[in-house]
Structure 1
């Protein structure tokens, strides 16, 4: 027992140094980090441009209150809304906080309270975000949740159509359910959501906390779908490892958040904004995004060549990929760690691969070899007679 609460199932290693995709623990052992801090370290560890940006800004000013003008926030907002239909931004500190702001904005603008979300979704652990999350295990033990949330099956058009009425303020979804098993929205379902929102004057909230900022090979994952959200929540990869988050919204919502309606002490501080701006300057370049798509295709091909399709289902977008093993994967995570590869689960049966967007093909090759060793051995009594 130590002085910390026991709310994390911590692994028995302490990471003390990182460079790119490689991290080193306190015993000097090195690992390929295919967690990226759970999709946070989008440019890898200690990226030279981010290190230099932090040094430069830290010698100027770290924090000011949002009671003062913030030119850096304005520039970052303009960078995020450039060449899309969104028009305004609000900055905060975490994905859960961004989703709280999205929920508040939708309810205040519409004057309605009901929000449709989806089973196996994950939107955060604050009370509003937790209430929006369609997973009972996240809710257990905390008493009555914020009501007015409706959880529906993901990618089920008929179930959605049956629940839509005049009381619905918004529909909220992830383009790829990261925590919920790496399930992507289908194009027919995305189109149905967009049509329903337009026909019924329902706001559309897209949670891009994990999928945004280049993770799926485009600036935002919704750009690969028919979805045209009114509100987008962002976090994780936005700061490349430095805490910053926010929401982007369309012009009609601007007046809803007037002075005093919402706020945050640390959100959008000069240090966080400087780092996020550097991340955006790098990631939003078209050649960088095309490189992410190429790496995704390469990694998917390697995985399909290595893992038998009758034993494993591989899915996802960009560098947010999942390997459904059809059984509990916790021991695979441990064995991969022992072999030098850090992974994270996505639900009980899925291994989630979240390498930095700067990962190399050589590193992907090495990771696939470790996965082959871990998944295609007979340690756990698997019948591997049909395996390659």
Structure 2
């Protein structure tokens, strides 16, 4: 009998060792990990710089609480704020916590309660973050959600215009809907969302929990579209495996989150902060990000060339190292087959294989992964000979 609540449909794999893009299970089987811990290990498993930073901090102190000045928090906050071209940071423990804080900040700053999000969005599983999520399956069984959230179709500006008004506190959006199916925002749509926020005095919140920290080839995905949000949320890749989340905001919001207005016992924990500094110093580098864009295009081209004649592949979508393969093949069956063949991938939506390889993945690993995907898809294709 397990003493764990059965909240996860766990895979048939128990990891024993991991390094870079590779996981070895208890039976000694090798897997290419194109999940990165669901977009967390952007530098791969156990990168040397992050490992050393954690060990160094372990030998100093592990926890003291946010009653104390901690210089490393200031260092991490500056790296994060500078990368987002913003000014202020609040550290939390996760993406859901960061989104909760962003929702609180927007409501308090505007004195309004209405927040507009999008169908198929995902913002977390705490109550406000769950209420913000535009997927009914996330909310089933929990009773009424917060009533102040409105949901509209993604990439549909006309639908959004019908809902936004002078009572709107914020519009909250993902640049790429990761959990929802790797749906990418259209440039014109995203620009109009930003303008609507300005027109109605609403705050523009961008959820970069999965897309941030170099995942798309920029520090943050919104930078591909020349947007200027008021609030950005970050987590996942920020600590490369250690739990940390963050709200990044503009200087104008400083007085809203004053002493006692929000807090977290573990937010900005010294170990997580040390990991985040090492992670950001590695990723927020022009040459590193150029390589991410180069490798992501290589992966996309290889997939496109290898799968384009297979009718069960409906579309391949990507922004940087976020790639979705939409397919008519039964998704759980296909993902299990990939695991059997030594490749770990994720679902997104109902029919999309989601690839989130480490940003440090090498060409040979990309080639291996594409070959596995091609062989697995052909195995299930009705046109296979």
TM over 0.5: yes
Q: CA deviation at 1:271?
A: 1.1
Q: 1:126 to 1:337 in 2, by over 3 A?
A: same
Q: CA deviation at 1:287?
A: 0.2
Give 2:42's aligned residue.
Answer: 42
Q: Does residue 340 of structure 2 align to residue 338 of structure 1?
A: yes
Q: Secondary structure at the residue paired with 1:49?
A: helix
Distance 1:288 1:65 in 2: 34
Give 1:325's aligned residue.
Answer: 327
Q: CA deviation at 1:64?
A: 1.3
Give 2:222's aligned residue.
Answer: 222
Distance 1:226 1:293 in 2: 17
Q: Does residue 245 of structure 2 align to residue 241 of structure 1?
A: no
User: What CA deviation, in whole Å up to 9, does each residue of 1:146-190 have, x standing for no partner?
Assistant: 120000000001001111111100000000000000001001110
Q: Is the contact made by 2:83 and 2:219 (CA closer than 8 Å) also made in structure 1?
A: no
4+ long deviations beyond 3 Å = none
Q: Is the contact made by 1:320 and 1:354 (CA closer than 8 Å) also made in structure 2?
A: yes
Give 1:304's aligned residue.
Answer: 304
Q: CA deviation at 1:199?
A: 1.3
Q: Is the contact made by 1:330 and 1:348 (CA closer than 8 Å) also made in structure 2?
A: no
What TM-score, normalized by structure 1, do the two folds share?
0.97
Q: CA deviation at 1:285?
A: 0.4
Q: CA deviation at 1:53?
A: 1.1
RMSD (Å) for aligned C-alpha atoms: 1.1
Distance 2:24 2:276 in 1: 25
Give 2:378's aligned residue.
Answer: 376
Q: Does residue 87 of structure 2 align to residue 75 of structure 1?
A: no
Q: Secondary structure at the residue paired with 2:130?
A: helix
Give 1:155's aligned residue.
Answer: 155
Distance 2:176 2:344 in 1: 21
Give 2:282's aligned residue.
Answer: 282
Matches within 5 A, 1:360-371: 360-371=362-373
Q: Is the contact made by 2:117 and 2:149 (CA closer than 8 Å) also made in structure 1?
A: yes
Q: Is the contact made by 1:194 and 1:226 (CA closer than 8 Å) also made in structure 2?
A: no
Distance 1:51 1:84 in 2: 25
Q: Which runs of 5+ in 1 are unaligned?
A: none
Q: CA deviation at 1:46?
A: 1.2
Q: Secondary structure at the residue paired with 2:254?
A: helix
Q: 1:52 to 1:85 in 2, by over 3 A?
A: closer
Q: CA deviation at 1:84?
A: 4.6
Give 1:58's aligned residue.
Answer: 58
User: What CA deviation, in whole Å up to 9, does each residue of 1:354-376 have, x standing for no partner?
Assistant: 00000001000000000011001
Give 2:350's aligned residue.
Answer: 348
What TM-score, normalized by structure 2, do the two folds share?
0.98
Give 1:7's aligned residue.
Answer: 7
Distance 1:225 1:157 in 2: 16
Give 1:100's aligned residue.
Answer: 100
Q: CA deviation at 1:327?
A: 4.1
Distance 2:107 2:226 in 1: 24
Q: CA deviation at 1:328?
A: 2.9
Q: Secondary structure at the residue paired with 1:256?
A: coil
User: What CA deviation, in whole Å up to 9, does each residue of 1:317-357 have, x standing for no partner?
Assistant: 11110000034311111000000000110012000000000
Give 1:199's aligned residue.
Answer: 199
Count of residue correspondences: 383
User: What CA deviation, in whole Å up to 9, does each residue of 1:73-95 have, x standing for no partner?
Assistant: 11111111226541100001000
Give 1:123's aligned residue.
Answer: 123
Q: Does residue 317 of structure 2 align to residue 315 of structure 1?
A: yes
Distance 1:287 1:297 in 2: 16
Distance 1:227 1:198 in 2: 12
Q: CA deviation at 1:242?
A: 0.8
